[in-house]
Amino acid sequence: MSKVRVAAFSVSLDGYGAGPEQSLENPLGRGGTRMHEWLYPTRTFKQTVLGQDGGTTGVDDEFAARSFENVGAWILGRNMFSPFRGDWGDKEWKGWWGDNPPYHVPVFVLTHHAREPLEMEGGTTFYFVTDGIEAALERAREGAQGRDVRIGGGVSTIRQYLEAQLIDELHLAVAPILLGAGENLFGGLNLPELGYTVVRRVASEAAMHVIIERR
């Protein structure tokens, strides 16, 4: 059965999914790249995202590889696609990833500003959804053709889907760092009341991998 899931989403020990002062030059916010140090050396990241050979294996790579398994569509908040706000303007911006993004399936971007679909190399097409999270999920499920829908982030997008109780599984990689400020993933959310519980945890040297499911 297909799932709606968050996978390989890094958070700091104090619960932040992005650091403060996000910008074009610093898309993860100040200190935000440190949350992902578990991921960068892995074979999955190097091959799938960077198109390089080599990389580490082990617990971190296993969770990284699992995050791409059976994914038929993605949903992203606008911040995950673009650092710019407001109208799309000249539409020159085509994402952070170059001509061949690492998705290779339909990607549905939440936005308040309409834009024509953007077809990229490697099977990725970005669709821009202006009528909310449930409409995006409905379209993503159709696009996934029976496979999983992965909610890629950012923090605000994940929080909206959690509050609506639409996420089936959440994999967090908790990094042993403190950011102190930024976008807090769980602030004000009562996950047990929303039906979520921890079902698995596995530690590596770089992160604690936690699986949360809605029961």
SS3 of the chain: CCCEEEEEEEEECCCEEECCCCCCCCCCCCCHHHHHCCCCCEHHHHHHHCCCCCCECCHHHHHHHHHHCCEEEEEEEHHHHCCCCCCCCCCCCCCCCCCCCCCCCEEEEECCCCCCCEECHHHCEEEEECCCHHHHHHHHHHHHCCCEEEEEECHHHHHHHHHCCCCCEEEEEEECCCCCCCEECCCCCCCCCCCEEEEEEEECCCCEEEEEEEC
Q: What is the pLDDT of residue 38?
A: 98
Q: How many domains does the chain have?
A: 1
Residue 166: CB atoms within 10 Å: 15
Structure-token match 């297909």, residue found: 2
Q: What is the pLDDT of residue 94?
A: 86
Q: How confident is the model at residue 144 (pLDDT cuts 50, 70, 90)?
A: very high
Q: How confident is the model at residue 171 (pLDDT cuts 50, 70, 90)?
A: very high
Give per-residue pLDDT as tens, 7-21.
999 999 999 999 998
Domain membership flag for residue 153 = yes
Domain membership flag for residue 106 = yes
Ramachandran angles phi, psi of 214, nearest 5°: -95, 125
Domain membership flag for residue 121 = yes
Give per-residue pLDDT as tens, 39-79.
999 999 999 988 899 999 999 999 999 999 999 999 999 98
Q: In the predicted model, is pLDDT for residue 85 greater than 70?
A: yes
Domain membership flag for residue 76 = yes
Q: In the predicted model, is pLDDT for residue 1 greater than 80?
A: no
Q: What is the CATH number of the domain that holds 48?
A: 3.40.430.10
Q: Print the domain residue range for 177.
A: 4-18+28-214
Domain membership flag for residue 23 = no
Is 38 exposed, middle or buried, given 0-12, 13-18 or 19+ CB atoms closer than 10 A?
buried
- Would the CA dihedral through 196, 169, 11, 126 be positive or negative? negative
All residues at 6 or more sequence positions from 18 whose CB lies less than 8 Å from its CB, including other chains: 28, 29, 32, 154, 155, 182, 183
Percent of the chain residues past pLDDT 90, beyond the cut = 85
Domain membership flag for residue 204 = yes
Give per-residue pLDDT as tens, 116-130.
999 999 999 999 999
List the structure tokens of 56.
Answer: 């580490």
Give per-residue pLDDT as tens, 173-213.
999 999 999 999 999 999 999 999 999 999 999 999 999 99
Q: What is the pLDDT of residue 89?
A: 75
